[in-house]
Homo-oligomer: A and B are copies of this chain.
Amino acid sequence: MIVTCVYVHVKPDSIGKFIEATTANHRQSVREPANLRFDLLQQADDPARFMVYEAYETVEAAAAHKETNHYFVWREIVQDMMVEPRTGIRYNILQPDTRSDW
């Protein structure tokens, strides 16, 4: 099981539209069969900074997310909203170590 943390710095005037587009992506992504979580977070001390916590059963499932229609739609909508390119950090999950706790 793996997590990708995606960090996004959004232009101040795009915050509302970014939340709208990413909420729509969240709703579709959590329906993917191998998705474990797809949490959308807004930094407490800087509302222009977001983190998406994307947990999947396998590396292959995380890659498959990037082939979905909802990912393509999201990527297109948000591409001009960012101050700088988004970054992702990949993690292996140590705990919880059982699928049923996700």
* Chain A residues within 8 Å of B, Cβ to Cβ: 2-3, 5, 19, 22-23, 26-27, 30, 38-45, 51, 53, 89-96
Q: Are B26 and A91 within 8 A (Cβ)?
A: no
Instruction: Give, as a whole number of angstroms, the nearest-CB distance from A45 to chain B.
Output: 7
Q: Are B40 and A94 within 8 A (Cβ)?
A: yes
* Cβ–Cβ < 8 Å partners of A51 in chain B: 5, 89, 91
With A39-B96, A96-B39 known as contacts, the answer to whether A91 contacts B5 (CB < 8 A) is no
Can you add 16 more A-B contacts, CB < 8 Å, to A22-B95, A43-B89?
A2-B44, A3-B41, A3-B53, A22-B94, A23-B95, A27-B95, A40-B93, A40-B94, A41-B92, A41-B94, A42-B91, A42-B94, A43-B90, A43-B91, A43-B92, A45-B90
* Cβ–Cβ < 8 Å partners of A39 in chain B: 3, 93, 95-96
